[in-house]
Structure 1
């Protein structure tokens, strides 16, 4: 602390270049017993010496920009190490300890650049599995060269931008984050109501609180009267807008789920936005030819030649059998597929069902086969189901093609070691539900016939002609070009100028 005071005093009295060159050539920039912890002390020495032994952060706007990126990482809970450095930076700034601040800002910028470079490779682990608890390696040589160039031109803000996502959805998330953060200390009452449900015409005991809560997520309230005490048609339109923003059934009925989202705190919303802003670093940037499934959004998009040609609702894995974040390639469309029942489903679901109902296999058109490499069919009547331990069951099960097949009439094959793929479903009524986490991990696609037709048409094939030839036969149609399939997990994103929020169905945001 004494040294820093002497340094600040000396800086104020002497020409910085001459004094710094004489002083730091003898002593060095990083104090041996500094209370501030630096991750890259040797690299700091080299950087400051290469900068003519000058301080680097002369523009507080640039250092504030770095602090904001660290704030997002901190709010997202990704790295205790970077969170600690952010807290130290703020302390040094508030204490006017600019020498230590300058060194720590440069040290932290190195860590941020390394984080940004490695996010594509390790982000899936960082954002969904394990936090960053160990110091990151130095950024690449190219990144260090960029840093040195930006130091000389005093354009560190442009450098930080280079290592930060810049797509429209990210920018919309950041704009919303800043708007909410600017009002974080506003006192907004919780919305309450005297009955479980409220409909148009009902008395609203907390109408003003409801309006203030709607304003928090930028719902359009133009033309809505504030002085009346009941639920009118204009307010219902605003509530429906709010429900759509949060993936709820847009029926205008104010019930428990709508109230839960209405009373979501600003702190929680900032957390949600920060987590998803950082996750955007790992999602696919190109939208040439690609399929993207957003699990919490219960939606998928198919892009071809740079245009979105298909968008559909999907059903994803339930909590105990979640659909994983992953990337695969769609290589074929299978018509009238059979279903090789996964071992876990066979053990946990089907064998117990057969023990309860001996006719279950016939009803579901399921055959027992000796193994996946054998076509030998085992007579189910030869099996002692009541004394069979499911985990010791020696055979495999295959559901044959047909109206009741769990995969429906179309399977979109994406070979991977998790056996996760997209498919049709006979249970189409489930698409009517706003929350659709019902499957055992695979993704069920609404209007799968339309997707199949588009996939084949874009490969120069005609689905109707193929179906006329194959009738009810199981047939695999290979695609000439494989299509990347990205299964992502995004609980907040921008759509038509509004940030959309969805429930964290697998509890991965915390």
Structure 2
């Protein structure tokens, strides 16, 4: 039989845990009050409570690496939700709203992890059919455990990088998009010739 003192201590610890979890959820609601895309409130509360409410996205390299992956999904047009999340993250970054950025980035990471996990079975429907469901389920327990472990070891950047496709075609796609964007706003040369130009007619000044 368990001693009464030990039982009382366990009940006190359990009660304190519930209080802290409630405070964490209140904090999430306060910070995320104006973020309509936030979806995983309880999981956000658990994670930020576990890490002592420290920001998770202070490292610009980690944030940029994650944004790059979101940007590719946004460009593909398969998910309005991810496009909206990506746009909001950029807005929060530009306006230095770092608490909102941090919460939305973490909430989006949950959704993106679920998206990556679902690609092997849902990819055909998502990419070539109805698009990605805005209400993605939580990532698997093993994925969440891996995320917690990465954060504890200060390896969130490595975790984010692992979510990116390792296929060489993906890297080539990134380079191609970057190359096209560099010339997107450049003016292309325009040819002007007075009069009517008929097929086979020699141009008077083709280099003009």
Unaligned runs of 5+ in 1: 1-20, 207-228, 231-510
CA distance in 2: counterparts of 1:60 and 1:26, whole angstroms: 26
CA contact (8 A) 1:79 1:133 kept: yes
Q: 1:152 to 1:176 in 2, by over 3 A?
A: same
| Deviation sequence 1:17-62 (CA, Å, 0-9, x none) | xxxx9xx659433328701020111110111111122111111121
Deviations 1:189-210 (A, max 9, x none): 4679955689xxx65976xxxx
The structural deviation recorded for 1:126 is 1.2
1:124 corresponds to which residue? Answer: 124
- Residue 30 of structure 1 aligns to a residue whose secondary structure is helix
Distance of 2:72 and 2:32 partners within structure 1: 30
Q: Evaluate the alpha carbon distance shift between residue 196 and residue 108 of structure 1 in structure 2; reply closer, same or farther with a 3 A threshold.
A: farther
- Following superposition, the deviation at residue 149 of structure 1 comes to 1.9
Q: Distance in 2 between matches of 1:82 and 1:181?
A: 21
2:31 and 2:99 in contact (8 A); partners too: no
Q: Contact between 1:80 and 1:133, CA under 8 Å: does it hold in 2? A: no
Q: Distance in 2 between matches of 1:182 and 1:76?
A: 19
Quote the residue 1:115 is aligned against: 115
* Structure 1 residue 156: Cα displacement: 2.3
Asked if residue 157 in structure 1 is aligned to residue 157 in structure 2, the reply is: yes
SS of structure 2 residue aligned to 1:178: helix
Distance in 2, matches of 1:152 and 1:71, equals 27
Does residue 166 of structure 2 align to residue 166 of structure 1?
Answer: yes
8 A contact 1:55–1:102 mirrored in 2: yes
2:53 is paired with a residue whose SS is: coil
Deviations 1:417-445 (A, max 9, x none): xxxxxxxxxxxxxxxxxxxxxxxxxxxxx
When residues 123 and 25 of structure 1 are mapped into structure 2, their CA distance, relative to the original with a 3 A threshold, is: closer
**Distance (whole Å) between structure 2 residues aligned to residue 84 and residue 188 of structure 1:** 32
Aligned equivalents of 1:67 and 1:170: distance in 2? 15
Instruction: State the alpha-carbon separation in 1 of the partners of residues 123 and 130 from structure 2.
Output: 10
Which residue number corresponds to residue 42 of structure 2? 42
8 A Cα contact 1:79 1:132, kept in partner = yes
Structure 1 residue aligned with 2:106: 106
More strand by share: 1
* Structure 2 counterpart of 1:94: 94
Rg larger in 1 or in 2? 1
Q: Given that residues 25 and 45 in structure 2 are in contact (C-alpha distance below 8 angstroms), is that contact kept between their aligned partners in structure 1? A: no
**Measured at CA, do residues 189 and 133 of structure 1 come closer, stay the same or move farther in structure 2, by a change above 3 Å?**
farther
Point out which structure has higher relative CO (alpha carbons under 8 A, 6+ apart). Answer: 2
Provide the residue aligned with 1:83 in structure 2. Answer: 83
Aligned to 1:135: 135
SS of the residue corresponding to residue 54 of structure 1 reads: coil
Identify unmatched segments of 5+ residues in structure 2. Answer: 1-19
Change (3 A) 1:165 1:26: closer
Residue 160 of structure 1 and its aligned partner are, at CA, apart by 1.9
User: Using the alignment, how far apart are the partners of 1:71 and 1:102 within structure 2?
Assistant: 17
Secondary structure at the counterpart of residue 67 of structure 1: helix
Any idea what SS the aligned residue of 2:75 has? Answer: helix
Aligned mates of 2:200, 2:145 — CA distance in 1: 61
CA RMSD of aligned residues (A): 2.8
CA positional deviation for 1:168: 1.5
Which position in structure 2 is the counterpart of 1:74? 74
1:66 and 1:160 in contact (8 A); partners too: yes
> In the alignment, what sits opposite 1:30?
29
Q: Who is 1:56 aligned against? A: 56
TM (norm. structure 1) is 0.33
Count of aligned residue pairs for this structure pair: 183
Cα distance in 2, alignment partners of residues 129 and 31 from structure 1: 37
| Residues 92 and 100 in structure 2, CA contact (< 8 A), matched pair in contact too | yes
Residue 174 of structure 1: how far off its partner (Å): 1.0
Return the TM-score normalized by structure 2: 0.77
